[in-house]
């Protein structure tokens, strides 16, 4: 996989997250045509947020795995509130039978699991050491210009 940093007006970033969330009580409701609808809606909802990109998506019967790139201008918690909230409303509208099982329109478990997907630690350590050597060389060159 090639690394491609993205840009905002004043930042360069690569913010990828592995997110797992599940229906309340881990009921196995994500089956049959609901799966296709959930996949379609996750792509659509992520597309509505500027710069958010779905990299990988896997819907199991009782949970969803999502690898997504989210710009640093969005907090992961706010994004998840948006995604779970809108997705629940759309599912309740499309599948009224879910309202019987999930009274009060609370479809998803309260929390979620999130982990960053990024550069490995060893690569970052090498870059920091290399950058330090590069800066030392630049300082030596800069001093010679003014001496």
* Catalytic (active site) residue 127: yes
3-state SS, residue 94: helix
Distance CA 35, CA 97 (A): 15
| Alpha-carbon distances, residue 19 vs 11, 40, 58 (angstroms) | 24, 17, 11
Joined together, the tokens standing for residue 147 give 């001496």
Residue 54, burial from CB neighbour count under 10 angstroms (0-12, 13-18, 19+): middle
DSSP letter at 74 equals: S
- The percent helix, strand, coil of the chain (3-state, each to 5) is 50, 20, 30
Catalytic residue positions, numbered: 127
């Amino acid at each position: 996989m090639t690394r491609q940093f993205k840009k905002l007006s004043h930042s360069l970033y690569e913010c990828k997250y592995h997110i797992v969330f599940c229906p309340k009580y881990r009921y196995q409701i994500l089956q049959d045509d609901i799966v296709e609808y959930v996949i379609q809606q996750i792509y659509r909802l992520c597309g509505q947020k500027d710069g958010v990109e779905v990299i990988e998506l896997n819907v199991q019967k009782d949970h969803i795995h999502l690898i997504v790139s989210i710009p640093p201008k969005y907090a992961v918690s706010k994004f998840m509130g948006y995604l779970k909230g809108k997705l629940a409303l759309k599912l309740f509208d499309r599948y009224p039978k879910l309202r019987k099982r999930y009274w009060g329109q609370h479809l998803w478990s309260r929390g979620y699991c999130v982990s960053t997907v990024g550069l490995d630690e060893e690569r970052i350590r090498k870059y920091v050491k290399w950058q330090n050597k590069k800066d030392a060389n630049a300082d030596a060159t800069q001093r010679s210009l003014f001496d």
